[in-house]
Each structure stands twice: as C-alpha cells, then as structure tokens.
Amino acid sequence: MNNRFITASFILAALLSNTAAAQPAITTQDTLLDRIQLEDMLLAYYYGFEVDEGHDWTAMYTNDAVLDINGMVYTGKAEIQGLYTNYDEISPEENVPGKVHVLMTNPRIIVNGDTATAHMIYTEVMNDTVYLAPRLIEQGREDTKFRKIDGRWYITERLITQDGGLPPAYYSTYKPR
C-alpha cells in the first residue's frame, strides 16, 4: 500500500509540474518595470504615426534589427528608416486625408532577463472628418522581439501580419502566418 501511495504521489507531482509548465508566464515584481517600459515603448512607437514628419523610427531598433511587414523585409536602421521616410511612395493609396489612430490591444509581453517578446493586435481607425463616424481600415497582429542593452530596451525583430484591410503594396508579398 505504501508503494501505491508513493507511486501515486510521483504521478500527481509530475502532472502538477506539467500543468505549471504549461501556464503562461506572468509578470512578477522582478519583471514589472521592464514590462511597463516595453509597453510604453510600443505605445510611443505608434504615437510616431501621429507626430510631425521627420520622426526617427530607428531610435528604438538595434543596428541589425529586422522589420517584416507582410513579407516585405527591411534589415538594419537605414532600410527601416527608408521605409517610413518613403512610405507615401511605397503605398500611395494609404496617403489619404483625415486622421488615423492606431489602437494597440491585447498586449502579451513576456520578459525573460535581457530579452523579451510582445504579441498584440493593432487596429487602424480612420477619422475622415469630425462629422463622420470613424471607420476601421486595417487590423492585424504584431510579434516583436526585444533586447536590453545598457539598461535600455531595443527592438531586434518585428513581424507584422495583416488580417484585414491589406494595402495593395503588400499583395505580392503577403502570406498568411
């Protein structure tokens, strides 16, 4: 009877440890400040779409960062800045009057020492005029990897995948992922 109890105890312990391992990572006191800094960084990134031209998009990236938007891949700060500087030429159909706001929702940020990941849903909302109701123009997912260097977080890789409202500039490169 003791052997059965010991065996059952080991099985129960194994099951509980597998359940604990399957649970998603949670924010702890040790990771809370990093998580807030990363979320603030993502919000500041999207705020860049609302500020004047000349915004330095690369300030948040490492020198060797990769930005993949629906299969169009930009590597390094110069290519990434070039994308944003010349975006009206790359995707002229998106250059429309009105005000666009980007909503960042369901952020799932996991900090693991000096690296981190974030998954979120973004939604672009167009406000054509103050008299019309806003309309959704685009929605998708963003998966971002970060690295902490000298106490500051930087983006090392961003993977953006649209789920709706795909602009024509991405028709040839888009792959469901």
Q: Give pLDDT, residue 106.
A: 93
**Tens digits of residue pLDDT in 26-53:** 888 889 999 999 999 998 888 777 765 6
Q: What percent of the chain has pLDDT over 90?
A: 57
Is residue 90 within 8 A of residue 83, CB to CB? The reply is yes
**Tens digits of residue pLDDT in 71-124:** 999 999 999 988 877 766 655 555 567 888 889 999 999 999 999 999 999 999
Structural domains of the chain sorted by starting position, each given as residue range(s) with its CATH number in brackets: 27-170 (3.10.450.50)
Residues 6+ apart with CB under 8 A from 61: 67, 77, 80, 154, 155, 156
Average pLDDT over residues 141-151: 97
Would the pLDDT of 5 be above 90?
no
Residues 6+ apart with CB under 8 A from 125: 100, 101, 102, 103, 134, 135, 136, 137
Kindly state the DSSP code that residue 7 receives in the 8-state scheme: H
Q: Give pLDDT, residue 12.
A: 46
